[in-house]
């Protein structure tokens, strides 16, 4: 079951910096619309319990720090990025035009299936890029597999699957795959040329090493070719 990431030590340090007692924190949280008992605040700092998302947001407001400080970690998952932005499931789901239950299911499964508009709205709301979202959702290996097949085979067959993964228009994806396919073909041509010419093994090994290095950087190189579309997510015109 999902639990809000929380650092008892950071919470205690933040409260001491503000010079507040647990009772004063509880009173201030109540004024923010999130009433809690002072004993619960103490339990958080002692690590016996963790606050809910809403309680963490209120606590951060009272202690004059951002939610990430109280989380005690750098956001890694979709849920953690949402919390770091101070958004409840309901607020974020509303902003991206998705039902709360559907969005929560995506967080729990760590599998995103939103449409193009929802995806671009999501990355803007969370301050991400399309490239980073692919990593968070664990689809880098899937992308890499398509790219390997594309550079060494029929690249056109992989345009739409790759575009679906990265949420970038098919024209940009097609241009990138065509370029990568041509670049990779050069390695084979150079290798065969040296092989036919019976050049020394050292040169053949050098070309083979360059080819291997190219394959290791497929995903990075793909995003380099995609350019700004992968690093930024301009908010789409219109809406759901």
Residue 93 vs residue 1, higher pLDDT: 93
Tell whether the model's pLDDT for residue 224 goes beyond 60: yes
- Position 240 scores a pLDDT of 38
- Position 237 scores a pLDDT of 37
pLDDT bracket for residue 225 (50, 70, 90) = very high
Distances (CA, A) of 120 to 12, 33, 69, 116: 37, 31, 27, 6
Contacts of 47 (CB under 8 A, 6+ apart): 8
Mean pLDDT in residue range 11-25: 96
Q: Do domains 8-71 and 78-128 have the same CATH topology?
A: yes
Tell whether the model's pLDDT for residue 239 goes beyond 50: no
Q: What CATH number does the domain located at 8-71 have?
A: 1.10.260.40
pLDDT digits (tens, 9 = 90+) for 108-134: 888 888 888 899 899 999 999 888 999
Residue 88 vs residue 197, higher pLDDT: 88
- Domain boundaries along the sequence of the chain: 8-71, 78-128, 140-231
Mean pLDDT of the chain: 88
Least confident of 144-158, 169-183, 225-239: 225-239
- Position 191 scores a pLDDT of 66
Asked if 122 contacts 133 with a C-beta cutoff of 8 angstroms, the reply is yes
Closest CA to 66 of 18, 132, 14: 14
78-128 CATH choice from 3.40.50, 1.10.287, 1.10.260, 2.60.120: 1.10.260
The model's pTM is: 0.78
CA-based R_g, the chain, Å: 24
pLDDT digits (tens, 9 = 90+) for 187-200: 777 766 655 555 56
Q: In the chain, pLDDT over 90 holds for what percent of residues?
A: 65
């Amino acid at each position: 079951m999902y639990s809000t990431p929380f650092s008892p030590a950071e919470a205690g340090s933040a409260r001491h910096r503000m010079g507040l007692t647990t009772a004063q924190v509880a009173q201030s949280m109540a004024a923010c619309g999130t009433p809690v008992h002072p004993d619960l605040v103490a339990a958080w700092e002692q690590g016996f319990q963790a606050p809910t998302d809403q309680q963490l947001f209120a606590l951060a407001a009272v202690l004059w720090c951002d939610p990430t400080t109280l989380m005690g970690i750098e956001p890694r998952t979709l849920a953690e990025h949402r919390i770091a932005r101070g958004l409840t499931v309901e607020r974020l789901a509303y902003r991206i035009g998705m039902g709360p239950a559907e969005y929560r299911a995506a967080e729990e499964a760590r599998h995103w299936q939103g449409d193009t508009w929802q995806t671009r709205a999501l990355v803007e709301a969370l301050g991400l890029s399309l490239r980073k979202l692919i990593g968070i959702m664990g689809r880098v290996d899937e992308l890499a597999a398509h790219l390997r097949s594309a550079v060494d085979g029929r690249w056109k067959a992989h345009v739409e699957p790759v575009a679906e993964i990265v949420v970038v228009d098919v024209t940009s994806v097609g241009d990138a795959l065509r370029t990568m396919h041509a670049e990779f073909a050069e390695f084979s041509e150079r290798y065969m040329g040296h092989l036919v010419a019976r050049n020394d093994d050292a040169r053949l090994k050098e070309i083979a090493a360059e080819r291997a290095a190219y394959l290791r950087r497929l995903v990075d190189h793909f995003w380099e070719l995609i350019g700004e579309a992968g690093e930024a997510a301009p908010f789409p015109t219109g809406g759901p």
